[in-house]
Chain A
Amino acid sequence: MTHVPVIGIGAVSSLGSTARQGFSAIVQAQDGISPLRLFDSGLKTPPLCAQVHTIPCSDNAPNRNAALALCAAQESIAPIEKKRGDLSLGIVVATTVAGMARSELFYKQLRLDPGHIENAGRELAFHEPAALSGFLCGALKAQGFYTLSTACSTGLHAVGMAKRLVETGAFDLCVAIGADALSLLTIRGFSSLMLIDPSGCKPFDANRAGISLGEGAGALCLASKKALRMTGAKPLAFVSGWGASADCYHMTAPHPDGAGAALAVRAALKEAECRPADIDLIATHGTATPDNDVAEINAMRSVFGNLPLFCSMKRNLGHTLAASGALEAVYSVCALQQGIVPPTAGFSQLDEKINAEPARFQRKELRHILKNSFGFGGNNAAVILSHADCG
């Protein structure tokens, strides 16, 4: 296995419409959540969510999710856009809601007015996850794609899959794109599970009580040696290892020991040819639900013994579902580049069940970052991102 270079990154989140803006806000522990204003959730109190206020690409996209994805993807390929020539470009698209934000409005109206069915062709044209990929392929002039949907782990699996597609020679360039817009389905769904913290998420904190949902998109452009040579691009970082596993335990609750998560992390370490001691920082999934944070730390202890530095970006970005793995991988690349350990916004009090505090802001040379993402269905993803000098 090889270390595959990342030559471009892009991110749109509640903290800004570029990767640089977003990471700068994360470093300042900026709180990205506010009362939901995008639509009426039907809940008594609008939940606190991380909403994207400005999407520069929205005029060119069929829906909000596509606009988020397009913005991030275009930013990620901007450095080499004019030098692509005949290089083949593939994309791996990660989404859970796809076009649901529009479909659910259509369905609500259809229930009230059966004649609304005449509008199905227009309103549902981008319902399918694959429709998002087709749109992005056209907009980016890409040749092929894969569309993944593994709940909250999807974005990180997309990064791993893009790595393998470049390694096998399927594409010279491959962009991993994770995107999810806020929708009624997800807000009411997580609300029905009583997993939303009314006061905003507090990862790893003793008083944490659930997640804050968010929306956004992250994209990483990976390149083959041939593409590096032909574009003259310099690696920003490397994707060194990918691990994927299943808990085989419960559809929503994590295995309390984190056994499945640990399996994914070990697989990623093996592919990256890293020892546990080589990991300088864990960018955790860190959703701030009482069970998930404990299970993740248990899993990390089983792999690492003494925990490396760790952080969570969920209070900054909200839980952006399929976008989260890609988005947080983008910011992990920024952390590697700038030698910065980001603080964990929302944390203030040690939880004795966890018995570990996330790292505070610090400048530190970072060689390898482990990024984790876990999802419904007991789905686990882990990716190792390595400094540009580690190729």
Chain B
Amino acid sequence: MPQSSFHMRIVDSAMEYLSVQSASAVLPLQEPSWSDEVPASLKRRDPRIWQMAYVASLRVMTNLPVKPNAIMVATALGALDETKNFLDGVFTDGLGSPRNFIASVHNSMAGKLAQEFKVAGPNLTLCDGHNSLASAIGACALLQSGDFPALVVAVDENIELLDRLIPHLSPGCKQALGNNKQEGAVAFMLHNKNGNQGPRIRSVGPLFIGDKGPDAACSTLLQSQDPSDQTSVSLPSKTAGSFLSVSVAVHDVFRGSIAGRYALCSFSPSSKAIAIVEVCQ
């Protein structure tokens, strides 16, 4: 079962559409030179996952006349490397590095982005596995009108330990993560104005499905919506099998100017939940 599958019918969500002003991505496997854009001071002292989030955010803000008033970060596992390094310190010589500990918290990327870009408004981190982007967009839709524009950044990193662990995880997790080691950051600038025209996005879920099959659950959810509203174009997924699958696919729609409306369904085996991100270009 592919991690993200692209369905034809559009979801009728309780959430309002948000307009997409800009999109960007940092995907190290495809773009090894991405770190050239990291300022020397950050490159020297900051964790790699912070740097990926920083560069994706910097790119998305380029050429926009306004800066964000809110930051929403979507991450499944957060700063894995920092967490591992902290525990290694504790288990090796009894001393964990305070720097590693500070960076290990899931919201460290969001805090760093607020500090770097001076964004004093709401600052939330959503951790819903493969559904994290859907959660972050849902959380954006709950913001007050004065909190927009909002910077949404999906970010996850791969580390050697995760590579070793994946073959030994439960069949569901193994299948969901697959063999793809994709990591990176994908950023969007969202606004609540003009949500009914131009590039736009909204989400449903995560919705708990228990032991129902995710494909069937996604189809049921989509078919329960307006059956007359359809599009038949499917999308490629370059990162099927990573936490960033849906984020990258959404990015491809907006950056590639692929016309149409798409509902992207994701499934998180750890929480037994599906979510749908609907994009219109």
Contacts and interface: CB of A to CB of B under 8 A. Distances in A.
Contacts of A137: 208, 271-273
A125 to B, nearest CB: 6
A157 B127 contact: no
A185 B97 contact: no
B124 A150 contact: yes
A154 B129 CA distance: 17
B210 A377 contact: no
Given A130-B273, A244-B124, A377 B208 contact: no
Contacts, number: 217
Which of A126, A127, A144 has the largest count of B CB atoms less than 10 A from its CB? Answer: A144
Dominant secondary structure of chain B at its interface with chain A: mixed
B151 to A, nearest CB: 12
15 contacts: A42-B94, A117-B164, A133-B271, A138-B208, A168-B14, A185-B86, A188-B86, A190-B101, A246-B119, A249-B115, A251-B112, A263-B120, A376-B108, A377-B110, A379-B123
Contact of B108 (A98, A111, A147, A377): A377
Interface residues on B, range: 35 or more
Contacts of B77: 128
A246 B71 CA distance: 9
A246 B101 CA distance: 20
A343 to B, nearest CB: 31
Given A149-B105, A149-B107, 14 more contacts: A124-B169, A126-B270, A128-B76, A130-B273, A131-B129, A145-B273, A147-B271, A149-B126, A170-B14, A188-B86, A248-B120, A375-B107, A376-B107, A377-B108
Interface in B65-123: 71, 76-78, 83-84, 86-88, 90-91, 94-98, 101-108, 110-112, 114-115, 118-123
B199 interface: no
A250 interface: yes
Interface string B191-222: 00000000000000111101000000000000
Contacts of B114: 246-248, 377-378
A129 interface: yes
B15 interface: yes
